[in-house]
Amino acid sequence: MASELIDRFGRHVEYLRLSVTDRCDFRCVYCMAEKMEFLPRAEVLSLEELYDVGAAFSRLGVRKIRLTGGEPLVRRDVLTLVERLGQLPVELVLTTNGSQLHTMAQDLAAAGVQRLNISLDSLQPERFARLTRTGRLTQVLDGIEAARSAGFHGVKLNSVILRGRNDDEVLALVEFARDAGLDISFIEEMPLGQITEHGRLESFCSSDELREVIDSRYPLHDSPERSGGPARYFRMADSDIRIGFISPHSHNFCSECNRVRVTVEGRLLLCLGNEHSVDLRAVLREFPGEAARLEQAIIAAMALKPEKHEFRLDDEPQILRFMNMTGG
């Protein structure tokens, strides 16, 4: 079914990023503050409400739903939601920090998750602990191995690269991905929330810089392949994996934007880098079970989707909400 969700600029919204929690067992330095205040339970969408949102978007022609957080796998009983969403006619995918995959990978695949994105920003245990503040590298590596064995259609690694923090590991991360037979994407830091551990301008590494580093050892060839998201992919002659770059600063991808986000408090965000939004929680709770009202609110929201984000390369946050509040 063709998407019924079309914005003022003719872009068809076919991809929903649905946050199931703002909580996380890590405190990654580019994602949230070390001491976070999380949402009260009453402000968080129930699993039933989250399903209703996903089902509404599916009926409106969305073809891909990505479950995000925070860390989605720390949400209690999240597998019951996954099982229900897995019955919808969409590609169901999930982004995770990998900490829970050693016990949950098989169940996620059985419940209908088709693809996983797993965050991996360092292969050095002490550095990994500093970047995540609370994470253990061995646990994530065990999770990656479990994911490789679980039968997903695809598993991809995501790495946020910060100058002076982990930029010297780009080639090591590529080699790890090559050895594991996994695609990997390198992501420019998103300027969300007030970060105190590093200056975003000083830590910025552009995708072009990273591509040059990788190309010096593994010549990269442009690929027309797309995954439905913002990544631009490259291939290497001697490997089957893809190298992706997500470049909100250096290569703005707004003209092709086909996605929206729903936060766990039910806020429909029309753009990652703007505050244009609609309160779907109010609709869900004022008119429970009235699917047509929910769908109409979603359709009407498309008129608010801006043409582009307004990310700047400086240390003043343009968006005060952290990434865990946005839906990673």
Round to the nearest angstrom and report the end-to-end CA distance of the chain.
27
What's the gap between Cα 135 and its chain centre? 18
* Residue 255 CA neighbour count, 13 Å, CB half: 2
271 CB burial (10 A radius; 0-12, 13-18, 19+)? buried
Nearest to 15 by CA among 231, 296, 288: 231
pLDDT at 321: 43
Contacts of 115 (CB under 8 A, 6+ apart): 91, 93, 94, 152, 153, 154, 155, 156
Domains, the chain, ordered by start: 15-326 (3.20.20.70)
Cβ–Cβ < 8 Å for 67, 94: yes
Cα separation, 168 vs 163, in Å, equals: 8
Which residue would you say has higher pLDDT here, 108 or 326?
108
DSSP state for residue 112 in the 8-state scheme: T
pTM: 0.90
Cβ–Cβ < 8 Å for 236, 220: yes
| 281-to-123, 284, 293 alpha-carbon distances in Å | 40, 5, 12
pLDDT digits (tens, 9 = 90+) for 50-74: 999 999 999 999 999 999 999 999 9
| Mean of the per-residue pLDDT values of the chain | 89
- Please tell me whether residue 312 adopts helix, strand or coil conformation: coil
pLDDT at 310: 64
- Please tell me whether residue 269 adopts helix, strand or coil conformation: strand
Nearest to 324 by CA among 80, 37, 100: 37
pLDDT at 225: 85
DSSP state for residue 81 in the 8-state scheme: H
Which residue would you say has higher pLDDT here, 272 or 252?
272
pLDDT at 248: 74
pLDDT at 193: 47
What's the gap between Cα 152 and its chain centre? 17
Q: Which of 53-62, 81-90, 239-248 has the weakest average pLDDT?
A: 239-248
Query: In the structure, what pLDDT confidence band is assigned to residue 254 with cuts at 50, 70 and 90?
Result: confident
pLDDT at 189: 82
- Please tell me whether residue 100 adopts helix, strand or coil conformation: coil
Cα separation, 288 vs 231, in Å, equals: 37
Cα separation, 235 vs 219, in Å, equals: 8
pLDDT at 32: 75
DSSP state for residue 118 in the 8-state scheme: E
What's the gap between Cα 47 and its chain centre? 19
